């Protein structure tokens, strides 16, 4: 069974607060490191705001942690069967996106994996991630338009693309049907801590 959205929101709030306190950062310092306003960070820490995927990436990059660190701390052991009991789902209604965490970040392997859905007509825009973050996109169902370096390209079911995500990029579904894709995020050494 998937985690309830309020549980994930509470996890995000506690994790952001914990990351900031572990580093001894004030809200001002955290805002400077992440590019997220002090007011927004305070709202997130208090569980008063449901941050967008773009905001979550800014936070993860600023704290130099994996994206999935913000979603869930449970992960299966190597060789353990994937079970629905530990997966997390995060919805970004403003982007028409739903992200399902399939495999949380593993510092030994340096990657995490999501199943992402984009609703018809939806677009998700991402600011640059931390240096050393590589995304691997594989389309499972539908068609994606992906913008890298101000150039749009189309990916269809069964196609994939790998790119350095340390630059702004966007994904959109310009069709009338849903788009589903795997997003494997690889962190080169030093791109994320094991937190």
pLDDT per residue rounded down to tens, the chain (195 residues): 344 445 677 888 999 999 999 999 999 999 999 999 999 999 999 988 888 888 888 999 999 999 888 876 555 555 554 555 444 667 777 778 888 888 888 888 899 999 999 999 999 988 899 899 999 999 999 999 999 999 999 999 999 999 999 999 999 999 999 999 999 999 998 877 655
88 and 62 within one domain: no
163 and 89 within one domain: yes
Return d(Cα 115, Cα 48) in angstroms, integer.
26
90 and 57 within one domain: no
Report pTM. Answer: 0.80
95 and 160 within one domain: yes
Number of compact structural domains in the chain: 2
Spatial CB neighbours of 85, under 8 Å, sequence gap ≥ 6: 1
Return d(Cα 54, Cα 71) in angstroms, integer.
14
Rg over CA atoms, the chain: 16
153 and 114 within one domain: yes
66 and 91 within one domain: no
Structural domain containing residue 31: 5-70
Q: Please state, in angstroms and as integers, the Cα–Cα distance from residue 21 to each residue in 15, 17, 27, 56, following that order.
A: 10, 6, 10, 18
Q: Please state, in angstroms and as integers, the Cα–Cα distance from residue 34 to each residue in 112, 115, 129, following that order.
A: 21, 25, 10
193: exposed, middle or buried (C-beta count within 10 Å: 0-12, 13-18, 19+)? Answer: middle
Closest by Cα among 165, 145, 158 to 58: 165
């Amino acid at each position: 069974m998937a985690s309830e959205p309020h549980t994930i929101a509470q996890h995000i709030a506690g994790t952001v607060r914990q990351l900031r306190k572990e580093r001894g950062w004030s809200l001002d310092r955290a805002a400077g490191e992440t590019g997220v306003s002090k007011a927004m960070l305070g709202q997130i820490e208090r569980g008063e705001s449901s941050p967008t995927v773009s905001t979550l990436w800014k936070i993860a990059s600023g704290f130099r942690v994996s994206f999935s660190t913000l979603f869930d701390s449970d992960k299966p052991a190597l060789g353990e069967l994937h079970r629905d009991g530990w997966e997390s789902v995060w919805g970004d209604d403003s982007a028409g996106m739903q992200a399902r965490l399939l495999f949380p970040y593993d510092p030994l392997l340096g990657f995490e994996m999501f199943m992402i859905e984009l609703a018809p007509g939806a677009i998700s825009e991402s600011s640059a991630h931390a240096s050393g973050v590589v995304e691997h996109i594989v389309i499972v169902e539908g068609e994606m338009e992906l913008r890298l370096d101000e150039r749009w390209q189309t990916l269809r079911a069964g196609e994939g693309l790998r790119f350095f995500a340390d630059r702004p990029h966007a994904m959109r579904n310009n069709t009338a049907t849903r788009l589903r894709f795997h997003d494997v995020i690889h962190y080169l050494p030093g791109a994320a801590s094991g937190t």
